[in-house]
Amino acid sequence: AEHRRVADARFGQDRGPTMVGNTAIAESKPVKDRYKFQRGYAQPELYAPVTGFYSYLYRTSGLEQSYSSELSGQDDSQFLSRLVDILSGSVPRGGAIETTINAKAQQAAWKALAGRKGAVVALDYTTGAVLALVSSPSYDPNKLATHDLGDSTKAWNSLNDDPAKPMANRATREIYPPGSTFKLVTAAAALESGMTADSKVDASAYKLPTSTKVITGNCGGSSVSLSQALKVSCNPGFARLGATLGADELRNQAQRFGFGSKFLDEIGSAPSRFPDELDPAQTAMSAIGEFEVAASPLQIALVSASIANRGVLMEPYLVSQVTDADLNVVRTTTPRAHSQALTASSADELQKMMVEVVANGTGRNAQIPGVTVGGKTGTAQSDRIRNPYAWFTAWADDPHVAVCAFVEDAEIDASEIAGGRVAAPIAKAVIEALR
């Protein structure tokens, strides 16, 4: 009984709102039952990966969890506001958290995914602010927050039994084979090693070392420039290049881009992975985003963001500021750099190469009149049963945004253009929404 009273008191708090612009996407409203306040979510499926849920039986997740003390008004930064409420006899009120999400970009990402399994992440690459974060399929947090605990239990069981995994945050907490989007990492390592966009790459058929596997591809010639190799996503050229650079160089470059790191503590993330032990054949396959390389859509967005920001990887964040119940700002997020992923000169050169991908290569479907867009397509097929993953990552000069669009089931035959056909239009829609 004592535990029940504590839980009732916790669940009956007047929690503050979570805001996107001037709109509350999560807020508590007074009700006439034992708990006094009901937590509710506007546009629940659209924002569930951001807000998380607030439940009597299943506690909290997402921003509801990481900012629980601020939302409930119990954080140390809200002491004065809490003291005023106590002295005046008022019911303690929670503070508000203001997210970095742009409503138009979020809606555009959700609409462009069109119900397919996948995720979209968009970042302001100059600050690290997350402008869109969508995961599909999603779920309705209202069904877990309900005061009818029987209904809450049914919803929880249904969501966890669903094979589509609607509660899985595909944007940050799941990692997948990134396919040819990883060639950006390999290209960065090549530029950092002294190559230029005009350096020649052997693009002829490549037999993997100590293996019978041969990697082929029509790259526009048997010897092409590094820029041409990226433009047409030349598998034999990049596989051979990766073997030449070596596993250590690729691994170090991947780590500078954030592989192996966790980001967005507010909602949690899985670190992206570049394998530790590689033989030459595995190194070649890893260089084109295969073998055991795995990345989250957030991580691939961060690669583009670093390149667009002249090599500086900014720490991503979801909350811009926190206010107390009287709207006094008690905490503000200050943008900060995570790492120097590559030199400014290498980043400038890689930017031009990515622009060529969109202007004349596999990323044509991301072209936007009047906007400079650089991008990279990716298609990944880890087995012969499922359809390929489709990826596209890009950045734009105006607005300052980096995007990753990921579709878990491209619903077309495996080919290099899957990312360009399926995912590039999604990224384009998000960039256009921010203009």
Q: Beta strands 23-30 and 18-20: pairing type?
A: antiparallel
218-to-2, 166, 186, 222 alpha-carbon distances in Å: 71, 39, 19, 9
Q: How far apart are the first and last CA of the chain?
A: 55
Do 307 and 300 form a contact (C-beta atoms < 8 A)? no
**Catalytic residue of the set 55, 81, 180, 227:** 180
Q: Beta strands 18-20 and 96-99: pairing type?
A: parallel
- Written as one string, the DSSP assignment of 8-46 is HHHHT-BPPPEEETTEEEEEEEE-SSTT-EEEEESSHHH
Cα gap 384→230, rounded to integer Å: 26
Do 96 and 422 form a contact (C-beta atoms < 8 A)? no
Q: How far is CA 320 from the centre of its chain?
A: 17
What is the phi/psi pair of residue 102, to 5°?
Answer: -100, 120
Q: Is 180 a catalytic residue?
A: yes
Do 166 and 53 form a contact (C-beta atoms < 8 A)? no
List active site positions.
180
